[in-house]
Structure 1
Amino acid sequence: MKSMVIEKNGFDGLKLISREAPLPGPRQVLLRVRAVGLNYRDVEIVLGSYHTPFKFPLVPMSDCLGEVIEVGKNVTRVKKGDRAVVAFWERWHDGSFDASVAGAPLGGPSDGVLSEQFLTSEDRLVVVPPEINDIEAASLPCAASTAWNALVTSGGVKPGEVVLVQGTGGVSLFAMQFAEMAGAQVVITSGSDEKLEKLTTPGVLGKVNYKRYPNWSAEILKLTNGRGVDHVLEVGGPQSFEQSLKSIRPGGQINVIGYLGGVDGGFNPLDIFRKQATVRGIPVGSRRMLQELVQAMASTKTKPMIDSVTHWTNAAEALQHLHSGKHFGKVILSF
């Protein structure tokens, strides 16, 4: 079988190699990979800017949709012919997150899914119903689970609440869709008017260009008549956190997810006390959360926003496109 590996840092460090196809052992499943979804984490690992260095060669990527082509002994959760997505964490199946037992995520340090075939434990799999196609399903495991965890599982979003999403990346767009599914309204910030104009769904309460309004929390308060939002999906990092704190209502929630704005910056911790804010880190999501969101999207016929689909052997070009920030929606590799 063919696999893509990172041999050195840089987009030119990806190499297509041949490997012997693996055989499933007890409770293991062999997938024929049909589609792979990219995340910004994958870009950082390839470039060497991720906060944790990994040993190379390494098969990258964590998100895929595969067809079950062979099962080992005692497999009960899936059968041959099923289509399934693979959960990000090795052993976080349900309940609260515990790093000491969650195991390794895919695409670093464990080998990822950018191969023609992928061997995994059956415990990691969620069967995908026919309402969701291969390309759509491959977009879900990391970004959608993160948004679902933040808003639904941990956040308990309710009808009539207001959710602030930062940017138009994968997590933010899924959060917008899940908020609307729950009957909440959404306020969106972005540095691109062109991207903001594409967001025309009925649940959008307002849009703010943070480049035009550096003190964008003031605009958020105007949109909410001075009240503030109930939930924030914080993807910018330390530089935007202070603005997020100013944007929430007393007792509001901030879900810390990323650091696209960098790792430098600061804020006054007393502001958390003054706002009586709930601040939590979101470590993607469990298999149970992935299963719940798959079922929710299938039953509501909600479709992920897909930016582009590229053949998997052109992974370097797809990663460069994601790195450029020109994408709108998920970037997918097809097989």
Structure 2
Amino acid sequence: MSDTIKALRLNEPFGLNNIEVTELDDPGQPAAGEVRVSIKASSLNFHDYAVATGAMAPESGRIPMSDGAGIVEAVGPGVEEFEVGDTVVSTFFPRWLTGPASISDFNNTPGDGIDGYARQVVVRPTEFFTHQPKGYTHAESATLTTAGLTAWRALVVEGQIKPGDSVLVLGSGGVSVFACQIAKSLGATVYATSSSDAKLERYKKLGASHVFNYQDDADWGDSVYKASGGRGVDHVIEVGGPGTLPQSIKAVATGGHIALIGVLTGNQGEVPTAQLMAKQARLQGIIVGSRQHQQDFIRALEASDIKPVIDKVFAMQELSEAFRYEESGQHFGKICLTF
């Protein structure tokens, strides 16, 4: 065992040019209730980007990245859930184990309130991890912590999706692509938007039945509504925020569900409340999910043929380059890091 491990740190002034490759003391052996995990992969999320650029006001020296997947190297006394050699994936809210949402901040979220997974080895309590899905690579598993679980909770836990439902996904980031895959696997009809015709063709290959280029069709909410036969869609995966929410309300069915997941177009704005009320639709803010949600999601993945869509893979020390690629919006699905 080496005395040091490699890691990345965010230094002030925060920004993509100031992510430092450094060495840390090896964390040593796990205490009671802990596991030592060799981290093999992570994946990028908008939240990680916001932390790295300083928008989330991280502490100087923070180790970034909320998603981490790897191999258990050692277990502490009393640990029965994991064994040496198990493949594991991190949890976004390690203190939210089960039950209704109980957390409204990121104080204990790895890569934000506490140090994350841009490092070779961690020692953490067992609740910081679950088992990976059988047959998944480390990179594939690393996409589940944030993006995959958010889509699962929006559609299955909160949306109570059922065969025959319809789902609208916005854009082609990780959450939206996962939502398309989950919806199709559960017998739903998928509608998708993008500014890229090439990406819309990729959505068709994933099973989307109706696609809309929002640059060519500014009133895409009406177009979705018309394409649904004037009924509207049962579920909307709303990742844009104030800039897209009015169109999502146009698109949603009476009594439908809008999962407000992202704020890519800003943190606040006007909401057509009268139209939302007339639709009697449910607008619900969602941030990832609990450890139990993740375990349920992983069981579902093992019973399906869903594999995450990974657009591009970078090495850990190329994190700045990976974030710039994310920033460009070229990706379809997830961007991963391997260590």
What are the equivalent positions in structure 2 for 1:1-335 lying under 5 Å apart? 1-8=5-12, 9-23=14-28, 24-50=30-56, 53-99=57-103, 104-201=108-205, 203-335=207-339
1:27-67 per-position Cα deviation (integer Å, ceiling 9, x unaligned)? 111100111111111111111223xx121100000101110
8 Å CA contact 1:168–1:329 kept in 2: the answer is yes
Deviates more, 1:127-136 or 1:274-283: 127-136
How far did residue 126 of structure 1 move? 1.0
1:200-253 per-position Cα deviation (integer Å, ceiling 9, x unaligned)? 247412000111111111110121011100000111111211111111111010
Q: What amino acid is aligned across from residue 45 of structure 2 in structure 1?
A: N
1:73-113 per-position Cα deviation (integer Å, ceiling 9, x unaligned)? 11121111000001000211111111279961110110000
Q: What amino acid is aligned across from residue 66 of structure 1 in structure 2?
A: G
Q: TM-score, normalised by structure 1?
A: 0.96
* Distance in 2 (alpha carbons) for counterparts of 1:102 and 1:215: 35
8 Å CA contact 1:322–1:331 kept in 2: the answer is yes
8 Å CA contact 2:130–2:291 kept in 1: the answer is yes
* Distance in 1 (alpha carbons) for counterparts of 2:244 and 2:105: 32
| Structure 1: gaps of 5 or more residues | none
Q: What amino acid is aligned across from residue 315 of structure 1 in structure 2?
A: L
8 Å CA contact 1:217–1:246 kept in 2: the answer is yes
8 Å CA contact 2:181–2:206 kept in 1: the answer is no
* Distance in 2 (alpha carbons) for counterparts of 1:72 and 1:103: 25
* Distance in 2 (alpha carbons) for counterparts of 1:167 and 1:202: 14
Q: What amino acid is aligned across from residue 53 of structure 2 in structure 1?
A: L
* Distance in 1 (alpha carbons) for counterparts of 2:211 and 2:205: 12
Q: What amino acid is aligned across from residue 37 of structure 2 in structure 1?
A: L
8 Å CA contact 2:106–2:112 kept in 1: the answer is no
8 Å CA contact 2:149–2:294 kept in 1: the answer is yes
Distance 1:268 1:199, change over 3 A: closer
Deviates more, 1:290-299 or 1:12-21: 290-299
Runs (4+) of structure 1 exceeding 4 A deviation are 100-103
Q: TM-score, normalised by structure 2?
A: 0.95
Q: SS state of the match for residue 303, structure 2? A: helix
| Structure 2: gaps of 5 or more residues | none
1:154-207 per-position Cα deviation (integer Å, ceiling 9, x unaligned)? 110010110000000000001001101110010001111121111224741200
Deviates more, 1:127-136 or 1:312-321: 127-136
* Distance in 2 (alpha carbons) for counterparts of 1:277 and 1:191: 26
Distance 1:193 1:202, change over 3 A: closer
Q: What amino acid is aligned across from residue 93 of structure 1 in structure 2?
A: L
Q: SS state of the match for residue 203, structure 2? A: coil
* Distance in 1 (alpha carbons) for counterparts of 2:69 and 2:104: 27
8 Å CA contact 2:8–2:21 kept in 1: the answer is yes
